[in-house]
Structure formats: C-alpha cells, structure tokens
Amino acid sequence: MGKETNGVPARTSDDEVIKKQEIHEAQANMWKFVFGFTEMAVIKCAIELGIADFLEENNNNEEVISLNQLSNALGCCSSSLYRILRFLINRGIFKETSTKNGEIGYVQTPLSRLLIKEGGNSMAAFLLFESSPVMLAPWHNLTARISSKDNGRPAFDAAHGKDVWKYVEADPGHSNLLNSAMACDARVAVSAIINDCPEIFKGANTMVDVGGGDGTTVRLLIESFPWINGINYDLPHVASVAPHANGVVHVGGDMFNYVPKADVAFLMWVLHDWGDEECIQILTKCREAIPKDKGKVIILEAIIGEKEENIIRGSNNEKLKDVGLMLDMVMMAHTSNGKERTSKEWAYVLNAAGFSRHTISHINAVQSVIQAYPS
C-alpha cells in the first residue's frame, strides 16, 4: 500500500511491486550463495555415514526404515541425524514417510541412489574427491591468480606447492580418490555413448584410452563392443596399479611424448585439463598413433555454448547446461592452463594438430562426443 493522498491510501504501482519482488528474490538467492558450501558438506556427511547404502540394503519390498533403526545401525545421534535428513529431504535427497507403527521413517529417491558408494550410477566418489581438503584449498587462491595480469601462479600450486599431477603422483591416497571419481563419471558417460551413438566404434579393432585412469572406461566400452582390443594408457604410477580387465592391456607412459598405436585414440575429460598448446601436442601424438586412412580420435568433453547456443551443446538435459560453466571454474582453480572450450575453440586446437575434419555428436551427458579425422 502506498502513501495517502487526501486521506486515501494510494495504490502501489505494478513497477514498485515487481521491484520489491526482485529485491526479495535477490536476497533469497544471495543467502543461498553465502551458504552454498553447506550442500556439499552435508551430502559428503551422508555419503560417509552410509545413509543411502543402508537404506538400499534394507528397503526390501519398499519397507520404510525408521529413524531409530537408521541411527542405531549407523551409530549416530538420533536428533542430529534427523536434522541432517531434514536438510537433505528438502532438496529431494531421501524421502520422509511413516512406518507401519507410525514412526518417522525414510526411503530412497532417484537422487539419493546416486550417493550409494558402489552403485552403478553413483556419483559419491566424485563428490568425495571434489570436497576433499586438497581440492577445496585452491579455491581460496582464485582471486590472487585472476588479479595478476599474467594470470598469476596457479591456484592449486599456491595452495600445495606443486601442480595437481605432481601432487597426485606423490600421494597414493589422493590418486585413488581421483581415479575413483573419474571411474564413477565414466560409468555415466559410457552408458550414454552406448545408448546414443554406438556406431562411432564401428570398424575399430583396437582402441587406446589416453589418460584412462584405472581402466574403467575402456573396460566398459569393450564389454559392449567385445571385438575391440583395448589399451588403457596413463602415467606409470597409475597404470601399474590398475585392476585386471579382460581384453584390456594397461600401459604406462607420457602422452606428451608417445601414444600407443591403435585404430582409435579415445580421450575423456583429459584435454580440458590443459592449455591450447598442450592440447595440440597431445592431439598430435594421437594423430601419429592412428592409421591415416581409417583412424580417428574420439573426444568426450563439455562444450561451452556461444551466446546464441545452449551452455552445453549436445546435452539432452537442459538442467545440465550450467555444469559446463562450473567445470570451467574448476579448471581455473585446479589446473595451470585448463579450460572448457567452445566449438570454435575445439576447431582451432584440432586443426592445429592436423585434423582437417571433425563432427560433434549429442549424447545425454555433460560431455559431447567429438570425432576428429586426420588430414
């Protein structure tokens, strides 16, 4: 209600109403930003407690697990656990209902099932990796890096005295976290490839997964395309401890110097860790490893959209479109020169590495599929 005019209250204009709504919305969003870290922290707590794992194991025949059952099984304070669950339920993680006895009880949701540590589509390992003290520390150095005209000292180096790759090589525990995180993403991305564009492996007899970590990606691909002989190629300290998989050979080496010969060189979430010159060097080694007539390089990466495009080209899920921009910030915090690229930026590095033609396939994942063919 506005000011009085001759004793009659003046109506609030539509513009004033809209302005007040915008202010309230801005304040609400700002509070979310201020406490944005709490979501990661509480979800990490839920994973470490094993809430989703216990519910999955004991929700037989849709049986509801009571708060007392859950707190006793996990060895938790009942009142604290209730508050944790209340927070998560408000975000669609777990669902509160009643047991047959009328007690407070809980069941899984599609979102909470992603927190099962050993689940097929689990993202638990990825969250545990990104929420580790090692990966969180560089964010405090982001401003210092950007404030320098020459892009400053990389944020990860400033936090830990070495880059992420040297840190991982020196710390087996953190290396395991990284490999587990990449493996959990591989399960999601490979499933999307198999469902959306299986034809990209037609005619390939051999494939080298460059920077393949523990070999999860190549193993999953060969299970679906068993005529392919797979090579999992990564740094020696990674390849030497990769688990055995039928049809897969683990090879240690440096992708900047050499890539094993194969019909297809496959790279998933590798090139975004590096600057353009390093990408060109890696891609050149990949081009040298494949046959000139029938070989190709398959790249899985997020593609940042231009102004008129979606943020991620190729995603069938509109809700994923902001992930590419978040990943770009992650690259800025965790790598020296890494970045997410637009389609034009991908064209530049591919052309510079000797690939005259490439295509982009759209799959239902954060990443899109780039197929590059040698000149």
Residue showing tokens 């496959």: 266
Closest listed residue to residue 41, CA positions, set 117, 138, 130, 131 = 131
Catalytic annotation on 272? yes
What type of residue is 124?
A
For residue 153, the surrounding DSSP H or E stretch is none
Tell me if residue 79 falls in helix, strand or coil.
Answer: helix
Query: How many CA atoms does the CB half-sphere of 146 hold within 13 Å?
Result: 10
* DSSP assignment of 172-185: HHHHHHHHHHHHHH
| Torsion sign, CA atoms 295, 299, 305, 311 | positive
CA dihedral (172, 327, 39, 363) positive or negative = negative
Alpha helices in the chain (DSSP H): 14-34, 37-49, 51-58, 67-74, 78-89, 124-130, 133-136, 142-147, 155-160, 164-170, 172-196, 216-224, 236-239, 276-289, 323-334, 343-352
Residue 233 tokens, joined: 């190629």
Read off the tokens for 98: 């009643």
Calpha distance 147→162 (Å, rounded): 20
Compute the radius of gyration of the chain from its Cα atoms. Answer: 24
Q: Are 119 and 113 in contact (CB under 8 A)?
A: yes
Which of the 8 DSSP states describes residue 242?
A: P
Among residues 160, 174, 250, 272, the one annotated as catalytic is 272
How far apart (Å, rounded) are the C-alpha atoms in residues 14 and 2?
11
Q: How many CB atoms lie within 10 A of CB 67?
A: 19
Q: What residues are annotated to the active site?
A: 272
